[in-house]
Amino acid sequence: MSYKIDPRKQINAVEARLAAGSDDAATRRNLRTMLVHMKAEATADFDALMATVSPDAAYTSFNVGVDSPHSPRSKDAVAAYYRALVENHCHQIEHDLDRIVADRDNITTEGDIRIAYPAAALRAMGHDVPEDAPYYLYEARLMIVWGFDNDGLVKCEDSYGAMDGFAGIATRPVQQSEICTIAG
């Protein structure tokens, strides 16, 4: 079946990079951490997700700036950000990666991102969406620079987006059956 949102795409891309076996031990460790992080996010496993986050975490979304709630600046703020993501059912994400660049300290991922935004969340954000679907499709291009601490935990997700993924979102309804869910 073809899905509008399929989190297996980012997971498969990282697994393929690991299977290639060409990275050093520290880079493989970081790739494994990122893989656990992605799976936990996709399954809404908050505890497993936070277990991958460094005590010194600080994320930045360069599209909205450092002072935005989308740029949590401490581990507690990152926890609050992810908790809200899970509680508001905004964790159904596909990042179709066409590029992974990795070294001992950072991993950069790039690709098209698709997020199933709940209609209620969109209305709360001021978007006028019809009542006929539980979700609407956010689509954009996203590059993330993942930084890792000495223990291989995620210390940053610095993101750079292209395109306004909310533009025209009301014309992209999504049903739950069009979202691939993976077991935790």
Q: DSSP secondary-structure letter at 5?
A: B
The pLDDT tens digits of the residues spanning 90-122 come to 999 999 999 999 999 999 999 999 999 999 999
Residue with the two structure tokens 């869910």 = 181
Q: What is the CA radius of gyration of the chain?
A: 16
- What are the b/e assignments for 110-123, b being 16+ CB within 10 Å? bbbbbbbbbbebbe
Instruction: Please report whether residue 41 resides in a domain.
Output: yes
Inform me whether the pLDDT recorded for 135 exceeds 90.
yes
In-domain check, residue 39: yes
CA distance to 51, 52, 143, 178, per residue, from 181 (Å): 21, 21, 23, 9
Question: Which is higher by pLDDT, 67 or 121?
Answer: 121
As a whole-number percent, the residues of the chain with pLDDT over 70 amount to: 99
- Number of folded domains in the chain? 1
**H/E stretch holding 124:** helix 119-124
- pLDDT value at 140 more than 80: yes
- Give the pLDDT band (50/70/90) at residue 67: confident
| pLDDT exceeds 90 at position 66 | no
CB 18 within 8 A of CB 32: yes
User: What's the pLDDT band for 47 if we cut at 50, 70, 90?
Assistant: very high
In a domain, 157, yes or no: yes
- Would 75 be classed as within a structural domain? yes
Contact between 139 and 170 under an 8 Å Cβ cutoff? The reply is: no
Query: What integer best gives the mean pLDDT of the chain?
Result: 96
Residue 76 belongs to domain spanning: 8-178
Distance separating alpha carbons of residues 67 and 76, to the nearest angstrom: 15
Whether 184 is in a domain gets the answer no
3 within a domain of the structure (yes/no): no
The number of angstroms, rounded, from the C-alpha of 163 to the middle of its chain's C-alpha atoms is 17
**pTM for the whole structure:** 0.94
Question: What percent of the chain has pLDDT above 90?
Answer: 91
The CATH number assigned to the domain holding 44 equals 3.10.450.50
pLDDT for 65 beyond 90: no
CA dihedral 49, 51, 56, 60 (to 10 degrees): -10
Q: What is the band of 183 on the pLDDT scale with cuts at 50, 70, 90?
A: confident
